[in-house]
Amino acid sequence: MGGILVTGAARGIGRAIALRLAQDAHDQGARAQLTLLDQHAAELDVVAAELQALGARVQVLAGDLSGLDFAAQAVAAAVQHWGGLDGLVSNAGAAFPGALSDYPVADWDRTFALNTRAPLLLAQAALAPLRASGGSIVVITSVSASHATPPLGAYSASKAAALMLVRQLATEWGPLGLRINALSPGLIATPGTALAYADPAAKAHREQRVPLRRIGEPGDIAGAVSFLLSDAAAYINGAELVVDGGLTHTMMASLPQQAWQDQAAQRRLPQTAAAG
């Protein structure tokens, strides 16, 4: 059995994914073998201790995935440590806010380096070991891949490119026995989005926009990642699993609809009278 590499595992969604994979293995009477990668070394150690308490075996790798070399080095280290690789979760990502009218090119480049290039470099490095194990890749994209998200600068464009990267890799590598899927979270409360929920009124406003009437928890994403990595998803390849409580289907419902509501009320009147 090889390991599973989770990037951005010190906080938020990545941490929840690692915890979920450890819990899954524990529930099956097994021990997960997890490589946790993040730029925050001290926080990684805290998560590693949480995972070990669930019986998981853990390797931690601290470094910056925006660089050109770290992705391949990390995959090689994981493969060497576990003797193989069973899965890759490309989760680390970030947004550098700003209007596009004068968006700094350095922010554009670092957004794409992390959100788009790193998933490619990780996947390239993982190709041979995942081919050997029959493992799979999940890339955490975003509902912003399909919906413009001002004022998050290059974020939407970088996630849209990552989504197409997943589709193309699925097409190229499916014949090799690999599955690659995208998971697009909606509104999830994490350290990375804490600012958006600091104001209770802003949080309540966002909750009202979600059909399930709540902001998602990191665990909501982790469960879906666990599914995509599992044999239950054996025929799912190149898919985008949107996990957003229904948020992205609400565009028409968010428009003023009074005229139609009035007409609906009028249409009901005669029937009500007849029934009475």
Query: Residue 59 Cβ, how far from ligand NAD at the closest point, in Å?
Result: 15
Segment lying near ligand NAD (by CB under 6 A), choices 79-87, 92-100, 206-214, 263-271: 92-100
What one-character-per-residue DSSP string does 138-176 give?
Answer: EEE--GGGTS--TTBTTHHHHHHHHHHHHHHHHHHHGGG
Which of 154, 160, 187, 210: binder of ligand NAD (CB under 6 A)? 187
Count Cβ atoms below 10 Å from residue 124 Cβ, excluding itself.
13
Q: Is 155 a catalytic residue?
A: yes
Q: Looking at 86-94, 130-138, 223-231, 258-266, which segment touches ligand NAD (CB under 6 A)?
A: 86-94
Of the candidates 236, 179, 246, the residue with the CA atom closest to the CA atom of residue 209: 246
Helices (H), the chain: 12-27, 41-53, 70-82, 105-112, 118-133, 155-173, 194-197, 200-209, 218-229, 258-275
99 in Cβ contact with 154 (< 8 Å): no
Nearest residue (CB) to ligand NAD, 35 versus 66: 66
Binding mask 27-56 for ligand NAD (x = CB under 6 A): -----------xxx----------------
Is 156 among the residues that bind ligand NAD (CB under 6 A)? Answer: no
Helix (H) or strand (E) holding 185: strand 179-185
Nearer to ligand NAD, 14 or 87 (CB): 14
Using CB under 6 A as the binding rule, the residues of this chain from 51 to 80 that contact ligand NAD are 64-66
- Binders of ligand NAD among residues 190 to 249 (CB under 6 A) are 190-193
> How far apart, in whole angstroms, are the C-alpha atoms of residue 65 and residue 237?
25
> Site residues (CB under 6 A) for ligand NAD?
8, 10-14, 38-40, 64-66, 91-94, 114, 140, 142, 185, 187-188, 190-193
Which residues are known catalytic residues? 155
